[in-house]
Chain A
Amino acid sequence: MKKIQNNLSILILMITSLFLTTACSDEYLDNTKVYAEDSESFFNSEADYYNALVAAYDPLQSTFINVLMGEIASNNTLAGGESATDVPGYQQIDDMTHTPVNSQLQNLWSWMYGGVNRAAYIIENQDKTDFEGKNVIIGEARFLRAYYNFELVKWFGAIPIKPEGRFSVGDEKTIPRAPINEVYNLIEEDLKYAVDNLEYTTPQVGRATKAAAEALLGKVYVYQEKFTEASDIFDSVITNGGFMLETDYNKIFEFQGENGVGSVFEVQYTDIQGAGFGCLQCSEGNVAVGFQGVRGYSGDLFTSGFSFNVPTQEMVDQFEAGDNRKEVAILDIDAWATTTGATFTTGYEHTGFFNRKYIPRKRSADAAGDLNLTNPNNYRAIRFADVLLLAAEANNRKAIPNDTKARLFLNRVRERAFGNTTNNITLSGSDLTDAIYHERRVELVGEGHHFFDLVRTGRGSEIPGFTPNKNEVFPIPIEEIQFSQGNWSQNEGY
């Protein structure tokens, strides 16, 4: 017995000596130094908010894929490229044979959600630190979230949304695809906040203004056929925004026309930083421009590209005689080669036409490579002409139409195009509607809008291969359906 007691006391001695000497608990592990900025301990100063806002603008540059692929999806252009298997994702969308297996659609999905999350990161932390002018930064963040969400709803229809902030791991299994009207509600709320908090002028060129928010809100109304609300908000942009139509249509798409008098919102690009195929969305340049350049081109004014997104003869024929926009929007490469002596090679689905607004221009000597991926052409995301035509449509189609006003807006655009008033439209009612639709197509060709104009107005069947009640939206990428583990269903027909 004594022996056992002895052993016991030794044991107790051992244990107590250990815990006395190591008087230390797991709390010791909590106090490690890091010296690295953690996303959860950010937003401590105005500079933090500003830096996060800049980062939320950044994914706008990845919308090049929306523009390029949106145009390819329409009946304006063919996919082109080098061969029938050059970027299969584009080829399939051109032919309306696309399926949920499509890397380009997957890119679009994840890049736009990249933008949504960066904007939501600021919105989520909006109450953390106060400073004068914070409402402007929050306003811009909400504008940006609306912009990205609008892209997503246009492409995919019902999408998961999370108004309070960023998505976190597991949300894909629990947050459902919100119905389209709920998505639009969130977009409208975000934009109304932006309209209320932003000014018509910005501290820096490239940032969103009140006018940009109003114009986007008007567009969002038109997409929902809320024409009365749309015409009201467009009136405000048109009256108070201070915009004019640039007289020289050609100048709009040249470098000297960037951020010009008719630019309501513009995605900014530059070529002073290099880029590679490994991360297209990281490029500070407009990747779409290189993709739709003339293959093997050597000659005046332009440089070469990958010959995607080539306009069809049918599109080119939409231009009426005397329309000054045709020479600006469409490059007839054979004619151009004949007059200038330029040389080029032909790619797949060669039509002889190129999207002249956004093909590569000659560059400065210090442009960083890969030059195909760093074209500095800004994307004129919302042009004043776009606003005028949407306003015309809203006035024409609202419950109590105002065709006079609609014609006024429409003809402002036509007067610039033709340089006279003799081509002004005098129609009204549904004839006027058709005239507005036609005007949108030619004014905005090559800018990525036409496919969505067609489907929102029920004219999708004009696109070869289009299946109604299916191709109005694109399929949710297969990977996302799998990640959601049954939470998200696929769009109808896919």
Chain B
Amino acid sequence: MRKQITFLILLFIGFAVTAQTLNVKGVVKDAANGDVLPGVSVIVKGTKLGAESDFDGMYSLQNITSGSVLVFRYLGYKQKEVTVNSATINVSLEIQAEALDEIIVVGYGKQKRKDVTGSVSIVGEETFEVLKPIDATTALQGTTSGVAVNLSSGAPGAKVNILIRGVSSNTNNQPLTIVDGYEGDLNSINPNDIESITVLKDAQAAIYGIKGANGVVLVTTKIGKKNKAPSVKYQTFASLQQTTRKLNYLNATEYALVLNEAYAVSGQSLPYNDVSQLGVGSDFQDELFNDALLMNHNISVAGGGENFRYFMSASRTEQEGIIAKQNSNFIRNNIKLNLGVDLSDKLNFSVIANYYTSASNGFDNSVLFNGLNFAPTFGLDEDDTANFLGIEIVNPLSQLNNTFNEYNGNGLEGNFKLEYKPIEGLSITSRLGYKIYNDKGRTFTPIQSYGSSKVFNQLQSSVYQYKQTSTRVVWENFANYEKTFAENHNTTFTLGTSVQNDLFDGIYATGINVPNNSYDFADLSLTDPQNEQRSLNAGFNDLRLISYFSRLQYDYKGKYLFSGLVRRDAASVFDKNLRVDHFWSATTGWKLSDEDFLKDNETISFLKLRASYGTLGNLVGNNLNRSFLSGEGTYVLDGSLVDGTAQGRIPNPLAQWETAVKLDIGLDVNFFNDKLSIVADYFEESRENLLIENFPVSGILGTGAPGGGNPTVNAGTSKNTGAELAINYNAINTEDASLNLSYNVTYVKNEVTDVNGGAFIEGGSFAIGNLPPSRMEVGQSIGYFYGLQTDGIFQNQAEIDAHPSQNDLGANVTSPGDIRYKDVNEDGVIDINDRTNIGKPQADFFMGFNLSGRYKNWDFSAYLYSELGKEMVRNYERFLPNVNKPAYYLDRWTGEGTSNSVPRLTNDATNNKLFSDFFVEDASFLRLQNIQIGYNFSPNTLEKVGVAKLRLYTSINNLFTLTDYSGFDPTINGGAIGAGIDYGSYPSARQFIIGLNVEF
């Protein structure tokens, strides 16, 4: 002990005698606007001595050796080094012009962007500010390479799907979303709370093991800065919404003429003998679509004191639907709190909480379908009582009058985190992430009648109610140790564990005979307790995961970079002996621009080569190993049905998750002092162990018994290959003006390489009575369209006679004006074996082109998004003689030479309605997602009224969409097998926005 004290004293004296010391102080300011910067860290280089600037930007340091170097660091600003040669050192920091020094989260740790060796995309808060997404996910569309965003519907509150580097799985392609360290969803977050989103696209995401294969979306929400006075922001906007498109359908006169022709061709008496009085008739689309409002308010406060920093916000979004707004709307409220407190120099405690509520109502998908197919000769409030249109088509407006439902959900999510830094370089973190979501729904189905035997008729009223609770708790403990050895060997070592429990339970009930047939009485307690159709169900799920992970990051002089990681996951939803897997990855990078031969190159300011390789998992296949008593065991005893208990589908004790093997080779290069930056990647992914349902097994296992079934087996493989390119050009950047252009493009090719040794899976549906139109099959992309190939229209009988017979397709007669199908297998007969690949729902290329800039007080931006090389299936026509039809029938075949694309009209049985490329359309599109202009009031003017910033803006979302697709919206998509089939989907809205941002 004494020895050590002596040593310390000697050391101190040593310092004292070797150099002159100074007490240094000064002010740190923003170089651009001269604002003082509080919270800037000032460190004496090579020591642990340091300070932080206070509220007034002041810092001071005692006993600093003259000649030592002070390092000023502040997030978002360029680091500055100043040699100490006087007692006052005032410093101006410049804003980080480029993102290379940006700190990004990479999963259980952080990295400088320039040191990242994986493939990542980043979206910053400015993108959310511009695009004003209701669901934060949509801000990723067109702004990030490798990421495609698919709307499942344009309805308010509808689910938005993210696809990272294409569809690889036939079951689940949703990436993992991590918000501030807890596993969450983007749709529960207020987009204004987001600081940045980082997308991990390659094997680097293996740190998330069994959940990483579909990519990982890491969301960081805002938090204030230490020693910063509260900054209050209020943002609001209002938007007028309307549909992006209505479909061109026949008016009443056209409709009657078309019907007459079909009847005449079939030798039937004409339905409309006098069409002169019909006029245009009713336009049901016009009645369904309406202008709708969208309002958003958001207020936030951020700041911090000496030992704490905080962010609080509240927001409300109200969105009406552009179809039947009384039946289609969405409301979300968010309250957010982020708080970090230094309990001591070494111990930090933080709380993140996001409380949200969402409420919505909607209507049956068939409303728009009916809106298209219901005949224009009917009055707006007239029902097809005589069943003229067939039993499945009813007046959509009557249908809406009978639509009553509500949905309410509320959730609380976030985490508690304790971070301990016992010694330099070591941080130990323990955090508890949680997400609790409760929701409930109520649907009232009144007694309703639309005409005799209509399928939508209800003879008795019923109410369906449910309540669900899901809870997720994740407890993670990990340590990061950062150390530089022998000056140049920089290492970071991470070691951690994670324990997760997801619980779900729900209760579902239906009651029959609601009093007074009224929504006001639509509650289970009031329904008929004796009714046999009354039903009660419950659902439950319990998923547990235990994981261990470790990562080593190493670089030599920041030039040669390497990381290696391994994760072990064990999941409760698989067989006990098969539930563990290990995932790993290795990444490497070489910063060529730090090499001598490029160091001072004037053209190339940054150049890095990257490569990554590793394995990841996709957590599907849950509980397939279990044998449930879900079979049908009903027999007749004593003349009545008796329900027995039988096994359901055969379990697959070997069922496991999917695994992915990913390779990425990338290049980051910046030119002209980082004005132009390019990121290019080539990637490959092999997705193995895809789950194949209904896997054929021997009948001796009893699968043939009622309600039995074949097991689901890991027996498929798919391969994705592709490339992405992102270019950013900072064309102008002066005090008065700036202009930034960016372009990104991604190419993905998916190919199924194995499905149970050569079989295929079918899915989706087209019209009624057709074979499934979508397939997963070896050599093709997942969910490609499988149907007949057309070869024009038969113009005359001679052409029919010269062509192989089409009678085996179903209709025994082929006439001029019918579709000619190709004899794909060249066997001299046209039958279902001539079906082939006629398109695919996933685009070959998707790209974004974005422009933003400012001139003096004005700012402007434009975001374009495009997908090329995809098809969609027009499936919103109901093939019945009397329903309304799309306007393309006006160009139908009516005699030799009249049309070679649209078949004749007839009520006879034909093969023209079979699934063929006649119904498959090119759905490539280019959409102007957003165009915006804003005005920023001068700070000098605002200062007088106590306002820091004020911006007014106006923008338009989805102003135009260029496409050949004739349906409502080529951007609507979803799923894997069965994707791209358009049943008449709710289109996205065009939004005219005005907004205001003010900051105090």
Contacts and interface: CB of A to CB of B under 8 A. Distances in A.
A18 B699 contact: no
B706 A169 contact: no
Contact of B702 (A36, A167, A284): A167
A7 B643 CA distance: 68
Nearest to B543: A32
A477 B699 contact: yes
B627 interface: yes
Nearest to B711: A169
Interface in B628-657: 628-629, 631-647, 650, 652-653
A171 B483 CA distance: 58
Interface in B444-487: 475, 477-479, 481, 483
A313 B314 CA distance: 87
B570 interface: yes
A61 B705 CA distance: 10
The A interface is mostly helix, strand or loop, or mixed, namely: helix
Most buried by B among A32, A52, A60: A32
Contacts of B640: 270
A223 interface: no
B647 A113 contact: no
Contact of B705 (A24, A40, A58, A273): A58
Contacts of A29: 544-546, 570-572, 576, 579
Nearest to B570: A26
A10 B706 contact: no
Contacts of A37: 628-629, 645
Contacts of B475: 22
A479 B652 CA distance: 19
A109 B580 CA distance: 38
B632 A207 contact: no
B702 A114 contact: yes
A200 interface: no
A301 interface: no
Nearest to B699: A110
Interface string A249-277: 00000000000000000001110110000
Interface string B651-667: 01100000000000000
Contacts of A288: none
Interface in A453-489: 477, 479-480, 483-484
B697 interface: yes
A268 B636 contact: yes
B706 A22 contact: no
A484 to B, nearest CB: 7
Contacts of A60: 635
Interface stretch (A69-77, A115-123, A182-190, A357-365): A115-123
Interface stretch (B33-41, B495-503, B834-842, B955-963): B495-503
Contacts of A59: 705-706
Contacts of A18: 477-479, 495-497
B430 interface: yes
B415 interface: no
B705 A114 contact: yes
Given A29-B570, A60-B635, A284-B641, A171 B700 contact: yes
A427 interface: no
Nearest to A114: B705
Nearest to B544: A29
Given A28-B499, A39-B627, A51-B633, A279 B706 contact: yes
Contacts of B705: 58-59, 62, 111, 114-115, 117-118, 281
A308 to B, nearest CB: 21
B479 A172 contact: no
A54 B633 contact: yes
Contacts of A32: 542-544, 572-573
A312 B998 CA distance: 93
Nearest to B639: A205
Contact of B707 (A61, A111, A282): A282
B249 to A, nearest CB: 34
B635 A206 contact: yes
Interface in B678-732: 696-708, 711
Contacts of B573: 32
Interface residues of A, number: 78
A186 to B, nearest CB: 14
B497 A58 contact: no
B423 interface: yes
B479 A14 contact: yes
A33 interface: yes
A204 B637 contact: yes
Contact of B477 (A21, A113, A114, A171): A21
B540 interface: yes
A35 interface: yes
B702 A58 contact: no
A335 interface: no
A38 B703 CA distance: 17
A353 interface: no
B700 A160 contact: yes
A341 to B, nearest CB: 29
B499 A33 contact: no
A171 B576 CA distance: 22
A197 B628 CA distance: 31
A280 B627 CA distance: 23
B824 interface: no
Contact of B633 (A118, A207, A279): A118
Given A113-B700, A268-B636, A54 B540 contact: no
A218 to B, nearest CB: 25
Given A39-B629, A282-B707, A167 B634 contact: no
Most buried by A among B422, B637, B640: B637
A56 B708 CA distance: 13
B428 interface: yes
A483 B698 contact: yes
A48 interface: yes
A452 B748 CA distance: 61
A399 interface: no
A110 to B, nearest CB: 3
Most buried by A among B475, B571, B701: B701
B629 A38 contact: yes
Interface in A163-199: 166-169, 171-172
Contacts of A11: 481, 493
Nearest to B647: A39
B426 A114 contact: no
Contacts of A118: 633, 646-647, 702, 705
Contact of A36 (B479, B572, B628, B635): B628
A54 B698 contact: no
A284 B644 CA distance: 13
B495 to A, nearest CB: 5
Contact of B636 (A10, A114, A284): A284
A480 B706 contact: no
A54 B642 contact: yes
A167 B706 contact: no
Contacts of B699: 106, 109-110, 113-114, 477, 479-480
Contacts of B702: 110, 113-114, 116-118, 166-167
B538 interface: yes
Contacts of B642: 54
Contacts of A1: none
Nearest to A175: B700
Contacts of B544: 28-29, 32
B78 interface: no
A53 B545 CA distance: 38
A59 B706 CA distance: 7
Contacts of A314: none
A282 B632 contact: yes
B951 interface: no
A42 interface: yes
15 contacts: A14-B426, A14-B479, A17-B479, A34-B540, A37-B629, A38-B629, A39-B628, A51-B645, A53-B644, A56-B633, A110-B702, A111-B704, A114-B699, A169-B711, A268-B635
Closest 3 CB pairs of A and B: A55-B633, A114-B705, A54-B644
